[in-house]
Amino acid sequence: MNIVILMCFVFVSHFTIANEKKAFSIALEDKKYYFSALNEFFIETYNKEILNDDLKKLESLLYYTGIELLEDYDNHLLLKYPTSSTRFILGRKAFQEKKFKSALDHLSKIHPDHRYFPEGKLIEAQVLQAQNKIKERDESYLACQSSAEKNESSAQNDKIKRYYRMVFEICLINKARHHFKKEEYKEALSAYDRIPKKSYKWPYLLLEKAWVYYQMGDYNRTLGLLTTYKSPLLDTYFFPEAEYLAALTYFKLCLYEDSLIIVNQFYQFYRPRFQALDLILKKNRSSQNYFYNIMFRADEELIKEGEFVTQILTRMKKQTRFSLDFNAIFKIEQEIKRIEQNENKIIKEKLVPHLEEVRSNLLTKINYNAKTDIFQFLDTIPFISQELYKLNLEIISKKKDLVYFNKRLIADRSRGDYSNVTRSRFEYFWKFDGSFWADELGDYSMGLKSNCQTIRNEKVEEESL
């Protein structure tokens, strides 16, 4: 009898404590301290049986905080909470770790009406691509596009609309990329052309489209697309690969002097600056906040070496990833401020240190991403330098051939003619008058004739005789 009374007492006391704890997380949520409430929610529930109400509550908290905070959480803990948000995180993690089966398992359980469904389908398509399941991959891309469009139309603010538009476009662009890989160039172009010029992705696609035209042998269109990067509107988009492709295309047209101008410009102007930047940035490689700080205030030393880093940083700031992380930091700072202003000392001491820690983690994450992006960009320089060097050797070799065979190219520097411009009936045509107009961007084409025809050097022959 005594044992039964004792057991009842333990149960009641336990329940009361649990309720108090639960009340605390609810109280925090009521006061709109969402980040603190999320932390308290996990403390309250991690060692208990998870009920449907708990899952609903978790989803409602994550709606405000975003899922970025959960990325560092242990998988076992996340598995205890089978919500669409946690499944999305687990699926994404599994994909990054190349555990494709597990990734598909998690991603397939995301509810079709959930806000992460379109992005989940995008990841799923990439998993299926890795498994070479082409038909299923295409179905996932289609589901991604249709769900992203649906979510975009019902989104409440512009930021969320932009996010879904971005997911939609990435799914579409990936399809174009798969066509390109299969040498289905026309299909690739028609997918690329569905991306409007005002899209954030559009400047990046110019390079990809230029490669498509290059592989199709339409060198004039390749050069025209790459010229678009010279527009003042796109001055933040500098890609060493675009310089290489332009030089390579001139080489294919046997316009060796034009090709050499690009090669020399790269060696004399860009490469020394990139090397100087590399040295400055490597000094700060282990810093926890240097790259975060330069996103807001560029280092004087960096500015001296050119605008490249500022340009890379501007591009990064436009990424959804940065926007989400920075938004989370902003919200956390607001929450800390409100707690500092409105709560007593005990509550402050309980909540603020955790929020400070979360803020610091997000800051480190942004710093890490910025550092990775900058160094990935700088790492492309040696490769492109090497390829340009090879191209330079090829040009010298071709010129030697001409001397050896006592020949010369049909023209020293062949200039354009409208007759050399190939275009479909859907493509516009404007003459370039020395200035870039926004509506023309991306539709340029050179009118250069291939200079590869050679003629015998008669004069030299006569002289030698």
Partner 1 sequence: MRSMIYILCFYVMSEAYGQDQKVIYQYKKYEKFDLGNLEVKGQLIAPGDISVRERERRRFELDLFSRDNFDPFLTKDLESLR
Residues within the interface to partner 1 (CB under 8 A): 67-68, 119, 122-123, 126, 129, 166-167, 170, 173-174, 177, 180-181, 208, 211, 214-215, 241, 244, 248, 319-321, 324, 387, 390-391, 393-394, 397, 401, 404-405
Say which amino acid occupies 280: I
> By C-beta, is 177 or 350 nearer to partner 1?
177
Residues contacting residue 240 through CB under 8 Å, at least 6 positions apart: 266, 270, 380, 381, 384
Q: How far is the CB of 244 from partner 1 (least distance, A)?
A: 7
Residues 140 and 124: beta-carbon distance below 8 Å = yes
> By C-beta, is 295 or 336 nearer to partner 1?
295
- Bridge-partner residues for 407, per DSSP? 456
> By C-beta, is 162 or 348 nearer to partner 1?
162
Q: How far is the CB of 321 from partner 1 (least distance, A)?
A: 5
Q: How far is the CB of 428 from partner 1 (least distance, A)?
A: 26
> By C-beta, is 187 or 299 nearer to partner 1?
187
> By C-beta, is 344 or 397 nearer to partner 1?
397
First to last CA, the chain: 127
Q: How far is the CB of 448 from partner 1 (least distance, A)?
A: 19
Cα distance between residue 208 and residue 217, in whole Å: 14
Q: How far is the CB of 179 from partner 1 (least distance, A)?
A: 10
> By C-beta, is 225 or 336 nearer to partner 1?
225
> By C-beta, is 105 or 208 nearer to partner 1?
208
> By C-beta, is 259 or 451 nearer to partner 1?
259
Residue that is written with structure tokens 């172009």 in the block: 189
> By C-beta, is 67 or 339 nearer to partner 1?
67
Residues 249 and 223: beta-carbon distance below 8 Å = yes
Cα distance between residue 170 and residue 119, in whole Å: 10
> By C-beta, is 70 or 351 nearer to partner 1?
70
Q: How far is the CB of 339 from partner 1 (least distance, A)?
A: 27
CA 409 distance to own-chain centroid: 43
Q: How far is the CB of 404 from partner 1 (least distance, A)?
A: 6
Q: How far is the CB of 129 from partner 1 (least distance, A)?
A: 8
Say which amino acid occupies 17: I
Q: How far is CA 121 from CA 91, 159, 302, 348, 390, in A?
A: 11, 20, 40, 41, 41
Q: How far is the CB of 394 from partner 1 (least distance, A)?
A: 6
> By C-beta, is 54 or 359 nearer to partner 1?
359
Residues 410 and 455: beta-carbon distance below 8 Å = yes
Q: How far is the CB of 446 from partner 1 (least distance, A)?
A: 19
Six-digit token string for 130 = 């890795």
Dmax over CA atoms of the chain, in Å, equals 127
> By C-beta, is 46 or 405 nearer to partner 1?
405
Q: How far is the CB of 297 from partner 1 (least distance, A)?
A: 23
Q: How far is the CB of 233 from partner 1 (least distance, A)?
A: 21
